[in-house]
Amino acid sequence: MNFNSLKIIVRIRNQNIYEINSIEEIKSLSSPLDVELNNVDLYNVSKVTDFREKKYVDTFLKFLKKGDLGVFAFVKGNVVGHAWVVMNSGPRNKKVNGYMNINPHEAFIHFCNVSEPYRGINIYPLMLSKLCEQLFLEKKIGKIIIDTDTSNTASINGIKKVGFKFLYKRTFIQLFNTFTLKW
């Protein structure tokens, strides 16, 4: 085995983990653009192709089938961002994305993206706020967790703008597409 192939099978992720625990902790936000936020559903899921590849339609359909909640950000009728959340309404801990454990009545926000020309104008934090409000008010979730790469300054700033508090840094080692170690 050469070292070039080793890069494919081993991945190290350094993540910052954040939480928010109540609707009162969510900060008020705005954007200079007229941004419309709508839940992703079977009728609008294909709109993700406004800025992402067609393969994401199937990915989002799988998320919907599992009961995940997604939100689209629209500007002038086009999708310019998305964010997803996995909820744990069961009686036991749930593993998300192969590495994040969430307890009952907790949720984990993941799979967020904003089209490059629309970054830096609060679209990401607005999507996070919308999801948090729905989770606390409609889904009766008690704690929401989100993580991001320790070097992703833009994501860290967006997370903090919403009111999330830093919990800890964790390193995950992924072998053969399976997360095996964390510390």
Question: Can you list the domains of the chain with their CATH numbers?
Answer: 16-182 (3.40.630.30)
What is residue 13's predicted lDDT score, i.e. its pLDDT? 86
- Alpha-carbon distance 83 to 81, whole Å? 7
CA-CA-CA-CA torsion sign (158, 71, 59, 101): positive
Average pLDDT over residues 66-92: 97
pLDDT class for 177, splitting at 50, 70, 90?
low
pLDDT in tens, 105-148: 999 999 999 999 999 999 999 999 999 999 999 999 999 999 99
What is residue 9's predicted lDDT score, i.e. its pLDDT? 72
- Alpha-carbon distance 155 to 145, whole Å? 14
